[in-house]
A and B are shown apart, each in its own frame.
Chain A
Amino acid sequence: MPHDHSDGDHSHSHLGEMDVRVRALETLLVAKGYIDPAAVDRLIETYESHVGPHNGARVVARAWADEAYRDWLARDATAAIASLGYSGRQGEHMVAVFNTPDTHHVVVCTLCSCYPWPVLGLPPVWYKSAPYRSRVVREPRRVLAEFGVVLPESTQIRVWDSTAEVRYLVVPMRPAGTEGWNEDRLAALVTRDSMIGTGVAAVP
């Protein structure tokens, strides 16, 4: 399964073809003066090395540890998240949704692949894939079970389809047995999938 993508045939000849195609396009755009290759490098470096789910994990850990922050996050997620240094592209307008025993939240973009980049980084392939996007709005309980998240029938599942520029961050439930933990220890329990809603926080 690890390299079995459903979104196309990644044979070597195909990769070679795309490699040539993208290289030629970039070369042309640089020669035209439209793009600066050093800016392209910086954009890639940002999303490959700096921005990722560790950002969102800090937001969640703070919300678990600090009730005033949790209230702020519920009221104005964009500002509360920006106060930790995460803002901007694909996170301009944030809403945090809080999992409870009664309601489990899960996020999707059925039309493309909208995802809260400043807090989660670039989306995984499965999030952008047709199986997830087509199914999670119609049979979320079944999809979540495939992710290993089996919820009681009494728990309502709320699916958020990101069809505008609002981006949703799921705040998973804080695991039992973490009373008194500091934010660093708590953040280590917060997985990417738990902030999409296709997972829950790790149990210590």
Chain B
Amino acid sequence: MNGVHDIGGMHGFGAVQREADEPPFHAAWERRALGVTLAMGATGAWNIDMSRSARESLPPAVILTSSYYEIWVRALESMLLARGLITRDELAAGQVISPPRPLPRVLGADAVDAALARGAPTERPAESMARFAVGDRVRAINQHPSGHTRLPRYVRGRVGTVSLVHGAHVFADRHAVDWPGGFDDRPEWLYTVAFAGAELWGPQAEPGTVVSVDAWEPCLEPA
């Protein structure tokens, strides 16, 4: 979706504000927001692309005026509500009103270290030959889907060069969509595509800059 999360190249956000000796969290609730979000993610009720999609789907004004972990919390609430895992009445009351829904699993404390060390690898056996090779000229397709996509606006329609081939990976744009009976983890070839600064930014490009994105094969065409 063409949302306010997709901000590569935008003007007007001001200077980068850094903080010396920044702590991992700035409030006690941020700790819990991280922990609760990761614990719910580990249940298998949704995948990381669905989480990203939920965050992007918050109202634009909310995204632009919320802190990072506040966006996480709001998106977590929306996913729990959308899947019927909790109800608005329960959220308002802060207590259980309806029985719980079954989940694929619940993360126990003794399973945390192993779950983090495993992560969620996205590489899968390739189901086809790679269409592109390192050095190929490719164009990022011009597309504006209303759903989740990891192809940022600033490269759409632009021509770059394949600089890495990563193998076949779960295609985030499909993986983010609810699919009957599980997640749609069918892979597509994944490439790093490098664009010259001037191809992206025209006369305002800084000389001697190259920007790359990682793009799946359905988002690329020969150029």
Contact = CB atoms under 8 A, between A and B. Distances in A.
B85 interface: yes
B39 A35 contact: yes
Contacts of B157: none
A6 B112 contact: no
Contacts of B32: 22-23, 26, 40, 44
A8 B192 contact: no
B31 interface: yes
B157 to A, nearest CB: 16
A10 to B, nearest CB: 7
A74 B122 CA distance: 20
Given A2-B19, A24-B91, A129-B17, A8 B77 contact: no
B109 A38 contact: yes
B139 interface: no
Contacts of B65: 8-9
Nearest to A162: B214
Contacts of B70: 8, 18
B103 A34 contact: yes
A46 B94 contact: no
A39 B20 contact: no
Nearest to B85: A34
Nearest to A85: B117
Which 9 A-B pairs give the minimum distances between C-beta atoms?
A: A110-B8, A40-B35, A38-B109, A164-B214, A88-B119, A24-B94, A130-B13, A89-B119, A8-B67
Interface of B: 5-11, 13-20, 22, 24-29, 31-36, 38-40, 42-43, 45, 52, 55, 64-70, 73, 76-77, 80, 85-86, 90-91, 94-96, 100, 103, 106-109, 111-113, 115-123, 150-152, 154, 164, 166, 169-170, 172, 190, 192, 194, 200-201, 204-216
10 contacts: A1-B19, A2-B19, A7-B67, A19-B28, A24-B94, A33-B100, A93-B122, A157-B206, A159-B212, A163-B214
